[in-house]
Amino acid sequence: MKFSLGFSPCPNDTFIFDALVNKKIDTEGMEFDLFLEDVETLNQWAMQGRLDISKISYGVLPLVLSQYELLDAGGALGKGVGPLLISRKPIPLTAINDCRIAIPGRRTTAHLLFSLAFPEARQKEFMVFSGVEEAVLSGAVDCGVIIHENRFTYQQKGLVKIVDLGEFWELETGAPIPLGGIVFKKGLDPALANKINQLIRKSLEYAFSNYPELPEFVRSHAQEMDEWVMRQHIDLYVNNYSLTLGPEGEKAIEILLQTYERVHAGSHDSPFIS
């Protein structure tokens, strides 16, 4: 049986799925048409119901629950893993509402966490996450929300942290930060969802058992990334929550869904709907 499968080319995703898509484990007859895309593209596709299995931002989860169910394995949650708001020079928090802000996608978790911290900010420019740093450096925007590998390199470029949006979330909720999860299309055999979940977990267990070796699949999709950045990326975003959400992870997602409703209800022009 063949499924369409989408995830990002970032090291955490390629690390998790390497053994599955490259058949280093027994896939039990499952085949996959692979789509490697940035997460905002995957979010858009999930809203269209395009793929059978997909990585998404938890920020878009409320908008796709009618079409997809959330799997237990393969996601990214944790503490100390949230997006950062950065700029070229220090900016008082009271001035953020008047700033031009680069956001890595309208329907991302990063946008939801930013909106929770700065609900009155309106001058937002949405772009692919890899373009945020350059937008800040060039002066096209005053500040930007960075995710993924940019968390590890922004200081080398002379940029400064204004606020850790993940830390803000943790102080507000006491929960780990739900960044991204894996969804399975409804309408397919529910037993298949369970099987796919088990295979994703086995794929990650295989990766963990061979770490710190970096698979060629990870390296080939992170060609411009230093090895230490790849490892930091994996060490930060891949953890026990990636094997199973557990009660704490499930509670964090419940809080995020409640937060989405609160932020959405507070604006007639929802930041999550075009």
- Annotated binding residues for substrate, written as ranges, equal 55-57, 109-110
148 in active site? yes
Minimal CA–CA distance to 233: which of 214, 248, 216?
Answer: 214
- Measure the CA–CA gap between 13 and 72, rounded to whole angstroms: 15
Rg (CA), the chain: 18
Known binding-site residues equal 55-57, 109-110
How far is Cα 35 from Cα 43, in angstroms, rounded to an integer? 13
**Catalytic residue of the set 148, 221, 233, 264:** 148
**CA distances (Å), 128 to each of 8, 30, 239, in order?**
12, 32, 25
Which residues are catalytic, by number?
148
